[in-house]
Amino acid sequence: MMLLSLLLIPLAASGLIAIARRRALMELLHAVAAMATLGTGTAIVAQVWNGAVLTAAGDLFRVDPLSSLMVAIITFLGAIAALYAVGYIRAELDDAHLSRVRLFFTLFHLFIFTMLVAVTTDNLGVMWIAVEGTTLATVFLVNLRHTRTSLEAAYKYLILSSVGIALAFIGTALVYYAGAAKAGEISVNWSALRAAAGSLNPEVVRLAFVFIVIGYGTKAGLAPMHTWLPDAHSEAPAPISALMSGVLLNVGLYAMIRFKTVVDAAVGPEFAARLLIGLGLFSVLVAAAFLVRQRNYKRMLAYSSVEHIGIICLGLGFGGYWGLLGALLHMVNHALSKSLLFILSGNILLKYHSAEIIEVRGLLRASPWTGGLFLAGTFALIGLPPFAPFISEFIIFRAGLESHPWAAATGVILLVVVFGGMLASVNQMLYGEPPANLPRGDALRVWLAPLAANFALLLVLGLTLPSPFVVALQQVLKVLGV
């Protein structure tokens, strides 16, 4: 019952907001639904991390430790973005645009619903539908401003994501065929498929995984399938950019990880490792090339997402206990840091009315809280201690130096390029004299309060790994066969 409640709360909120007439009621429904989803998700995560496996609707929904990790990320960051969104949308859209306000809050919760379905279903087909649903829920949010560039970004996002999900469908069908061709009809549930992995046709499984990585890798932002990401993330409203970059990309990775466990059991880990390491390195390389001299700070954060998804894929490819542990930890750390920075980018945009780096000067003087948090978040994102991404990147490349030293060394060199490029861009924004006509003070300062949770977790996980969290990650590793 609790699992169904987790899915029904955002779905019901979306429906109620769609028929609400008053803005205050929309905001109330929005905030209450976000906190109720967080509370229900927390209760589910606590039960699973205490050893339970929750199911609902027969075999359709099932939450194991890997699913619960994703539920924790989605509900926590969904609540953070939801609270900030109330203030942000008030500043962005006045009552003359009430229909767009309603559209935003309606699709916000539909977006949360589709992501939760994707990570809690035990059925490959339902997951595929839910991942496609995330595209349909967010494409209108990308075009919320109704400008030429936002419309172009929305179309690009819709077309490329649809092509990717079509390829993922081919991969899913091939995985099913791999079992039907060799071992008779099998279920399309993860649990049954994982148990039957040893009887799958290895050649078909290899081909299927290529389609899966290209298809779901498009949703995850892996290069060269990433081309929709900088446009969509830079044009979407800041709370949606925070969720798309911090959460949605992890949903694409989740699908790849689920299939990887089947592929590893069917054909051995080497095939998936080579593919993931190659694409991971290429993603970091592409990101480094575009981050050296980036002119738009929202696009800078978007290309940084491509980099970090590449790092996670490197960890998955390096494999073993440390490689997979680092990849899982980095999924959490990147989600925390990137959602923080995209929300802060919304504050910067409201203050300076421009996403161009050259137009933003003296941020620390003009908006001390926003500028200080943006600097700290950037330090976290580029992997400086004492922030958590330093730990997860260290773990990943430690594993890589043992198993694939050339790939790990290449990745470290590219990270140095990213470090220099991002720091140079952020320094241009933070220092100097702000425009004379710019009012002093932080936009929406009270609405930044929830970001204290992101910042605290980035510090705590950078200084120590609490034993309950380590135990939870070890449970996830058991699901992955480690």
Q: Is the pTM of this model over 0.85?
A: yes
> What's the pLDDT at 183?
47
| DSSP SS3 for 384 | coil
pLDDT under 50: residue ranges of the chain: 183-184
User: Helix or strand or coil: residue 60?
Assistant: coil
Tell me: cis bond preceding 386? Omega within 30 of 0 counts: yes
pLDDT of res. 445: 76
**Which residues lie below 8 Å from residue 51, measured CB to CB, with a gap of 6+?**
none
Residue 296's alpha-carbon distances to 213, 302, 357, 420, in angstroms, are: 29, 10, 5, 16
CB 38 within 8 A of CB 10: no
- The per-type count for the chain, helices as H runs and strands as E runs, is 20, 2
Domain boundaries, the chain: 1-122, 138-267, 285-482
- Could you tell me if 109 and 30 are in contact, meaning their C-beta atoms sit under 8 angstroms apart? yes
Residue 435: per-residue pLDDT: 85
The Cα–Cα gap between 163 and 67 comes to 26
CA distance 426 to 445: 20
